[in-house]
Structure 1
Amino acid sequence: MPLVLLRCLTVGALCSLFASPLLADTWPAADWQTHLAPSTPAVEALQAYAFPARDDSGRKGVRTDALLVVRDGVVVYEHYAAPTTAQTPHLLWSMSKSLFASVLGVAFAEGHFRLDDAVAKHYAPFSSHPSVKMGHLLNWASGLDWQEDYEYAPLKSSVVAMLYTRGRGDMAAFTASHGLDALPGARFRYSSGDSNVLAAALKQMLGDERYRDYPWTALFEPLGITSAVWEQDASGTFVASSYAYMTARDTARVGLLMQRDGRWGERQVLPPAWVAFNRTPFANYHADPQKPNNAVPGGQWWLNSALPDSAKPWPDAPEQTFAALGHWGQALYVLPEEKLVIVRFADDRDGSYQHNELLKRALAAFAGEQP
Structure 2
Amino acid sequence: MSKGLSLIFMLLLSLSAHAENWPAEQWSTGPKVTGPALEALESYAFPTRDDDTRQGVRTDALLVIRDGQLIYERYAGPTTADTPHLTWSISKSLMATVLGVAYGEGLFKLQDPVVKFYPALENHPAITFADLLHWASGLDWQEDYEYAPLKSSVVAMLYTRGHRDMAAYTAGFEAYAEPGQAFRYSSGDSNLLAAALKAIVGPDRYADYPWRALFEPLGIHHAVWEADASGTFVASSYAYLTARDLARIGLLMARDGRWGGRQLLPRDWIAFNREPFAGYKAHQDAAVPGGQWWLNRALDGATQPWPDAPADAFAALGHWGQALYVIPGEKLVIVRYGDDRDGSYQHNELLKRVLKAFAEKVQP
User: Is the shorter-chain TM-score for this pair beyond 0.5, marking a shared fold?
Assistant: yes
Confirm or deny: 8 A CA contact 1:147 1:156 kept in the other structure. Answer: yes
Give the alignment's Cα RMSD to 1 decimal: 1.1
Structure 1 residue aligned with 2:36: 41
Establish whether residue 70 from structure 1 lines up as the match of residue 65 from structure 2.
yes
Structure 1 residue aligned with 2:337: 345
Per-residue displacement from partner, 1:218-241 (whole Å, max 9, x unpaired)?
000000001200000000000000
| Letter matched to residue 356 of structure 2 | A
Confirm or deny: 8 A CA contact 2:33 2:358 kept in the other structure. Answer: no
| Letter matched to residue 49 of structure 2 | R
Q: Could you say what secondary structure the match of 1:193 adopts?
A: helix
For 1:110 and 1:24, the matched residues in 2 are separated by: 29
Structure 2 residue aligned with 1:215: 210
For 2:33 and 2:192, the matched residues in 1 are separated by: 46
Query: What TM-score, normalized by structure 1, do the two folds share?
Result: 0.91
Instruction: Structure 2: state its 5+ residue gaps.
Output: 1-17
Alignment partner of 2:347 out of 333, 350, 355 = 355
Query: 1:66 Cα deviation (Å)?
Result: 0.2
For 2:206 and 2:51, the matched residues in 1 are separated by: 44
Structure 2 residue aligned with 1:140: 135
Alignment partner of 1:103 out of 98, 105, 108 = 98
Establish whether residue 312 from structure 1 lines up as the match of residue 304 from structure 2.
yes
Q: Could you say what secondary structure the match of 1:76 adopts?
A: strand
Structure 1 residue aligned with 2:257: 262
Structure 2 residue aligned with 1:282: 277
Establish whether residue 295 from structure 1 lines up as the match of residue 287 from structure 2.
yes
Alignment partner of 1:203 out of 198, 204, 212 = 198
Query: 1:35 Cα deviation (Å)?
Result: 2.5
Alignment partner of 1:156 out of 141, 151, 160 = 151
Query: 1:151 Cα deviation (Å)?
Result: 1.3
For 1:207 and 1:101, the matched residues in 2 are separated by: 17
Query: 1:308 Cα deviation (Å)?
Result: 2.4
Query: What TM-score, normalized by structure 2, do the two folds share?
Result: 0.93
Confirm or deny: 8 A CA contact 1:142 1:185 kept in the other structure. Answer: yes
Per-residue displacement from partner, 1:309-338 (whole Å, max 9, x unpaired)?
311010000000000000000000000000
Q: Could you say what secondary structure the match of 1:201 adopts?
A: helix
Q: Could you say what secondary structure the match of 1:241 adopts?
A: coil
Q: Could you say what secondary structure the match of 1:331 adopts?
A: strand
Query: 1:40 Cα deviation (Å)?
Result: 0.8
Query: 1:38 Cα deviation (Å)?
Result: 3.1
| Letter matched to residue 104 of structure 1 | L
Confirm or deny: 8 A CA contact 1:36 1:77 kept in the other structure. Answer: no
| Letter matched to residue 298 of structure 1 | G
How many residue pairs end up in the alignment?
345
Structure 1 residue aligned with 2:13: none
Confirm or deny: 8 A CA contact 2:195 2:232 kept in the other structure. Answer: yes
Structure 2 residue aligned with 1:14: none
For 2:254 and 2:354, the matched residues in 1 are separated by: 17
| Percent identity for Structure 1 against Structure 2 | 69
For 1:53 and 1:369, the matched residues in 2 are separated by: 31
- List, as ranges, runs of 4+ consecutive aligned residues in structure 1 with deviation greater than 6 Å: none
Query: 1:36 Cα deviation (Å)?
Result: 4.8
For 1:369 and 1:42, the matched residues in 2 are separated by: 14
For 1:184 and 1:136, the matched residues in 2 are separated by: 6
For 1:40 and 1:326, the matched residues in 2 are separated by: 30
Per-residue displacement from partner, 1:115-143 (whole Å, max 9, x unpaired)?
11111011000111011111000000000
Q: Could you say what secondary structure the match of 2:200 adopts?
A: helix
Instruction: Structure 1: state its 5+ residue gaps.
Output: 1-22
Structure 1 residue aligned with 2:187: 192
| Letter matched to residue 236 of structure 2 | S
Q: Could you say what secondary structure the match of 1:253 adopts?
A: helix
Higher relative contact order (CA 8 A, sep 6+): 1
Query: 1:369 Cα deviation (Å)?
Result: 6.7
Query: 1:206 Cα deviation (Å)?
Result: 1.8
